[in-house]
Structures are given as C-alpha cells and as structure tokens.
Amino acid sequence: MTAHTQAWGSGLATTTAAGVELDTWFLHVALGPLPAGRDPWILPAELDELAGPDPRRGVTLEGVIVEIAIDEAPSSTPDAYLRLHLLSHRLVRPGEINLDGIFAHLPSVVWTNAGPMHPDDFDRLRPHLVRAGIHAHSVDRFPRLIDYVTPPGVRIADASRVRLGAYLSPGTTVMHEGFVNYNAGTLGHSMVEGRISQGVLVGDGSDIGGGASIMGTLAGGGTHRVTIGARVLLGANSGVGISIGDDSVVEAGLYVTAGTKIVLPEEPRSADGAPRVVKATELSGVSGLLFRRNSLSGAVEAITRTGAGVTLNKTLHA
C-alpha cells in the first residue's frame, strides 16, 4: 500500500456554459500534500496559456489545482479525474485509492477528437462540428486512457479499449480485442487479448488469451477481488470468477466461476470410488494448477502442473 494519504495535481477543467464540469486533464500529478508555499490560486503559466473558451464545443477550459485525501471518497469531477490520473500514472495501484461513488462525479460525455462535449451541446452544434472536422468516437462516463496519459513502455493497439484509470506496467501489450477497465491492470510484462474487468490485477508474465474474460466486482456487486498470478495463461475464450495462482493454466473455452464444481482426479477417492469434488472457490489463488474439461465425462477438473508457467516473447514485451 502507498504510504501517502494525500495527492494533488494541476490541470485544465472543461466546463459547459451551463456550469456542468465534463472532465479535468491533469498535466502534473503528485502524491503528498500540496507543497508548502504554493498558492493554490496561482497556476503554472502553461495552464494559463491553454485556458479559455472553445466556442466550437460550447465549453470553457479553466486551470485548476486540486488536492485530495486519497482514503476519502471522491467529492467532485476534478477530484474523480485526479484519482484516475494517479492510477494511470502508476502512482497508486488499484485498490490503494478510494473510488467509492465515483460514477456520481463522472457525467456522460460525448468524446470527440477535439475534446469532451455535453450530449445536448453536441446535438445542437452538430452542423458546425461537421464543418470544423470534429467528430465523436464514443459517449461514456470514462475517456480513453491515451487521451490523457501515455504510460511509458506500454503498447495499446486500439485506444478505445483501455479506459483512463487503468494501471498498465511497462512491458504490457494490449492487443486490438483486449480491454482494460479503470482500477484494473497489470503488474509486469503481460499480453492482454481478453478482458480485464474493474478491480482485477494481472501478475507479471501472464497471458490473457483472445476473448478471455476476468470477472470483476463491479457488475455483480461482490467484494472478492479477483487476481491473476504470475506466468498464468488464460486460454482463448476462457473465463474466471476466482483468483488464479502463479504458474496456472485455464484451458481454452473453459469458464470457471466461484460455484463451478471441480473434480480433483489426483486426490484419493472416497470409499465408494467417487472422486473428490470441490467448489472452485476452494481453489481460488492456488498455484500450479491446470483447469480443464474432461472430454469424455464433461466434468471440469483441476490437476497439478509442474514447472514454470507460460513464457512471453521477450522481444515483443521489451
């Protein structure tokens, strides 16, 4: 966990004529309290130069300096955006900062190649936007990561697939069909061709195969934080709702949820000859396992793997 309880940043807030705060882009972020002697009303000269109205989008850009307590819940749109920036700048890891109620401070925004717009203003100004070459690429509460932060040492094939607030470590590659939500990400070199949901952390050297899905806590309202260990392979179109330990493999096409019944063929059988069966939650986080479906019986099995897990292409993830 980070030892800091405060953070601050200076940037540009976008506000509509009606006073709706759409976003805040922080050019400078840091952990700790606002430095002593810094007047929060005195902005860096570069922010003053960028501030001002943008009549094309019906917004005004204003320089702001924001200081927050990271253990407390977000209290405003600039506060929420600072937290997302801290994650994507890798200053805090997912789970180390309070994001309770963040949706209430993130309005639905039309994201354009010229910046954020209010949906009503986009419809009203559409003819002028077309003539100015301004077009929309999404309507969402969260923007694309690389519109605000470019994490060093990371490759992202499709910008729309990674949200601001994702935590991506150097050596991570997110391919075209990969997806990384906010407050989720990777802790080392990783190949991401599947979905990393909110709250999920993927360990160093792991491969999230094409179409694979890792369940988060957002949709189901649960509290268990799913993690993927180091050197793990989630096969193509597989999925997990439990934590997967180091050096483990989930075979292609297999979905393992918390309630999935898992047969343990290597363990001693009962007196009647039946194999031991457990719920998948009992194997959550256990290292060195291969999860597979028996092609004859259809049962989901877990057997012990030996040696290290997958090995990524060093050149590709350098």
Q: Which active-site residues does the annotation give?
A: 193
Residues in the chain: 318
3-state class (DSSP) for residue 146: helix
Residue type, 271: A
The owner of tokens 């943008």 is 54
Sheet with 6-16, side-by-side order of all strands: 21-31, 6-16, 59-69, 52-54
> Do 275 and 269 touch, CB atoms closer than 8 A?
yes
Structure tokens of 69?
A: 């307590």
Find all residues with CB under 8 Å of 78, minimum gap 6, and list them. 11, 13, 21, 24, 64, 66
Find all residues with CB under 8 Å of 101, minimum gap 6, and list them. 73, 74
A 10 A CB-CB count for 61 gives 21
